[in-house]
Amino acid sequence: MDDLGTPVLDDHMHLDPENGRGIEAVKDFARSGGTHLLVVNKPSWLLGVEVESGEDFREVFDATVDAVERASEILDGRAWPVLGVHPGLISKLVDDRGYDPAEARDLMRAGLAEAAEYVADGPGVALKTGRPHYDVSEAVWDASNAVLRRGLELGAETGCAVQLHTEASEDLTEVAEWAEDAGLPAERVVKHYAGGRLAGPTPSVMSEKDRLEVAAEAGEPFLMETDFVDDPDRPGAVMGPKTVPRRVRWMQEEGYDDAVRNAHVETPERVYGLSTEATLSR
Ligand SMILES: [Zn+2]
């Protein structure tokens, strides 16, 4: 096991013990020096779950909670679940299943309300929502923004952070304002798959060297992720589970120790209220 002398958190990855590498991916992460994971549920349709009600999302959330428990047994730190509704679901519902955008919106909001219960009374630590990163009709865009805003409201009501999947952008100040209007501090909104620079929410930076260099030099709060998809049909998609620990080692070699502390200790505490140090035993 590599010990990098610091907690190492991957802020956004997926685990699919049933169909993917599952716990083997966690072992790879841990062997490379990784200690903590935020595990985001896979999109419902990729798990073959055809949702018709908010309750139908429970099967998806339960699979993630189960994977998190198994991951925590392996890690020197631990894993936590991030639960919610993938914004791409709206297209599946509207294009493939004949929903109109308002019906899709209501179903997705019901799924988010279910996820918020897992955070309020259970193991979840954050919600996941967003809007499509690809072009959609105005009606679908409006419905998606209504879902996103409901997610921010639920985060405020539940007192938890919200991870967002959105279009690529370096300026999401409008969404940050929606969060503040709902009573959720903008810093507790996290844009997953971010570049090194972002106005508004906290960026969860994809762990490529050039993006990390920008974030490290900026000195603003940031997180690091791979968006490891754990999908056997897309083996090369996005990054592997060893990437965050490897990039931490590289950052240490480059003298970015403050940035490592920022992304793996300070920002997780500030955004999620999670102490990666207090939950580390080795
Ligand atoms: Zn993801």
pLDDT, tens digit, 9 for 90 and up, residues 61-115:
999 999 999 999 999 999 999 999 999 999 999 999 999 999 999 999 999 999 9
Whether 40 and 12 have beta carbons less than 8 Å apart is answered as yes
Cα–ligand 1 centroid distance for 72 (angstroms): 19
Cα–ligand 1 centroid distance for 43 (angstroms): 8
Whether 180 and 153 have beta carbons less than 8 Å apart is answered as no
Break the chain down into helix, strand, coil percent, rounded to 5.
Answer: 50, 15, 40
pLDDT-flagged residues of the chain (< 50)? none
Q: For residue 161, what is the enclosing H or E element?
A: strand 161-165
Q: What is the pLDDT of residue 235?
A: 67
Whether 13 and 226 have beta carbons less than 8 Å apart is answered as yes
Cα–ligand 1 centroid distance for 39 (angstroms): 9
Cα–ligand 1 centroid distance for 191 (angstroms): 11
Q: What is the pLDDT of residue 231?
A: 87
Report the length, in residues, of the chain: 282
Q: What is the pLDDT of residue 236?
A: 65
Q: What is the pLDDT of residue 237?
A: 67
Cα–ligand 1 centroid distance for 44 (angstroms): 12
Cα–ligand 1 centroid distance for 6 (angstroms): 24
55-68 pLDDT tens trace = 999 999 999 999 99
Cα–ligand 1 centroid distance for 235 (angstroms): 14
Whether 276 and 73 have beta carbons less than 8 Å apart is answered as no
Whether 207 and 239 have beta carbons less than 8 Å apart is answered as yes
Query: Model-level pTM greater than 0.95?
Result: yes
Cα–ligand 1 centroid distance for 83 (angstroms): 11
Sign (positive/negative) of CA torsion 277, 204, 190, 187? positive
Tell me which amino acid residue 222 is.
F
Cα–ligand 1 centroid distance for 202 (angstroms): 16
Identify the burial level of 70 via C-beta atoms within 10 angstroms of its C-beta, where 0-12 means exposed, 13-18 middle and 19 or more buried. Answer: middle
Cα–ligand 1 centroid distance for 4 (angstroms): 25
SS3 label, residue 239? coil
